[in-house]
Amino acid sequence: MELGLCIIPTSLEATVEVAELAERGGIGWLGICDSPYLYAEPHACMQAAARATSAIRIGTFVTNPVTRHWTVQAAGFRALEELAPGRGFLGIAAGDSAVHSVGLEPASPAALEEYVARVREHGPDGLEVMTAAGGPRSARRAATYADHLVLGQGASEGAISFLASLAAEARAEAAAAPPELALWAFMLLGLADGEAEVEATRGDIAAAVVAYSRQAFDFTFEGKAVPEDLQEPLRRLYEQYSFEEHSTPGESRNARLLRGEGGPDLGSFLFERFALVGEPEAVAERLRAVLDSTGLQRIFLSAISADPVTLTRLLVDRLVPRLDQRSNSVATTKGV
């Protein structure tokens, strides 16, 4: 098993503390969200985290081709390479909150591929690319050039299998692509110190659950294992989505929309599909079950929380020890 952790960079201080904790706990990858209208500058946070650590991989998770020009991106990764040789990675997708929050549109799969090629050409040698994809078209395209592919369909065995099979076909057809492609799952993480805090923890990440589901389902429900009776409530939910409060921890417009549009059935479905919530020991069991059911051995966990440092400490001190320690290496594991 290989673990990654991504965070919203609210401050340099919190980013550094999370990075230090994550490395101490044997987590191999740290991703920094790139949404500059809403959060702190990711490359500054990545450099601060690199200075404070010695082995953990550090990169964007995720950036986009729209709001950050490829020359700026490549230069940022060249600087990171000086600070942390061989540890940087480019985590990227078409664009979501960073794009919509300033009135722009996500990049097409073709534009995303071209952007990655330019960053690879002008960035540090050997920069690994991790592309996040939630739909058939984006997964097929990304599989032809990425080193890592994050299958953004939560815990759905059927949807993950569908995207993985499309990626494998596309990879095989791309003569220039290396034979190995590392596949990752992605889940939101909410950890409670005790049973009495579980419900409050669910509330803390409710908006993030809406955000992740919108990224996964917004363009099409095809091949995504969404019950038919929930599709119309989801459409209404996404029509009213507020990018101004994207993934805001705690009470927010998007959290209220989740309660109002779909009621308990929709909330239960989205939490089960996209989040790991509970006491660390129980979450460790479910995490293993998710990976077993999807057939994946790599997972990025999203620490979107009002207190990411405490969440990371619970992850490192209580959840990770319940997992197989031999699999939580900071070394890169390639291949499927």
How high is the pLDDT of residue 221?
A: 92
How high is the pLDDT of residue 324?
A: 64
Cβ atoms of residues 56 and 23 within 8 Å: yes
Cβ atoms of residues 243 and 149 within 8 Å: no
Please state the domain extents for the chain.
2-327
Residues of the chain with pLDDT under 50: 325-336
How high is the pLDDT of residue 261?
A: 72
Label residue 250 left, alpha or beta by phi (over 0 means left) and psi (-120 to 50 means alpha). left
- Rounded to two decimals, the pTM is 0.93
Residue 298: C-alpha distances to residues 70, 213, 233 (Å): 28, 20, 32
CATH no., domain 2-327: 3.20.20.30
How high is the pLDDT of residue 163?
A: 96
> At residue 14, what is the residue type?
A
pLDDT of 85-133, one tens digit each? 999 999 999 998 889 888 999 999 999 999 999 999 999 999 999 999 9
CA 100 vs. chain centroid, Å, equals: 18
**Spatial CA neighbour of 68 closest among 13, 107, 126:** 107
**Spatial CA neighbour of 324 closest among 277, 278, 293, 292:** 292
> At residue 72, what is the residue type?
V
How high is the pLDDT of residue 250?
A: 79
How high is the pLDDT of residue 247?
A: 78
How high is the pLDDT of residue 56?
A: 98
